[in-house]
Amino acid sequence: MGVVIIDGSTIRDFVNDEAQFNKSVDEAFTKLDLNNDGVLSRSELRKAFETLRLIETHFGVDYRSELKKIMLAIADGLGSSPIQMALEDDDQGFIKQAADLEASKLPQQPSSAGP
């Protein structure tokens, strides 16, 4: 388990990195599209909203654009106030991916190799 410190800019940067965000959304979509028809049915979309811990509100909408709105709403809610989050090491949720993207942009610390 790891601890990350994020704020709204962490999530906003993840969403605005179109290549990374689209890759993450496409991977999540593929996992949810159980019958591989390229469309989320009501039951598949329900699972998506349950996974995101959201109440089911829309069907027949563009999954990527809706997820983008959700992530930006989370970013707006966080603002510039940093929070600590404990995440499982194997967590591949969007918040973890946003934190990983931010960490990848930090300068690498030189490793302290002993004599």
- Block residue for tokens 């704020």: 7
CA distance 29 to 58: 16
Q: Delimit the domains of the chain by residue range.
A: 2-104
Residue pLDDT tens, the chain, 115 long: 678 788 889 989 999 999 999 999 898 888 888 899 988 887 887 777 666 655 444 455 677 888 888 888 888 888 888 888 777 777 778 888 888 888 888 887 766 555 5
CA dist 77 → 45, 59, 93 (Å)? 24, 25, 18
Q: For the residues of 80-106, what is the DSSP string, one character each?
A: T--EEEEE-TT--SHHHHHHHHHHHTS
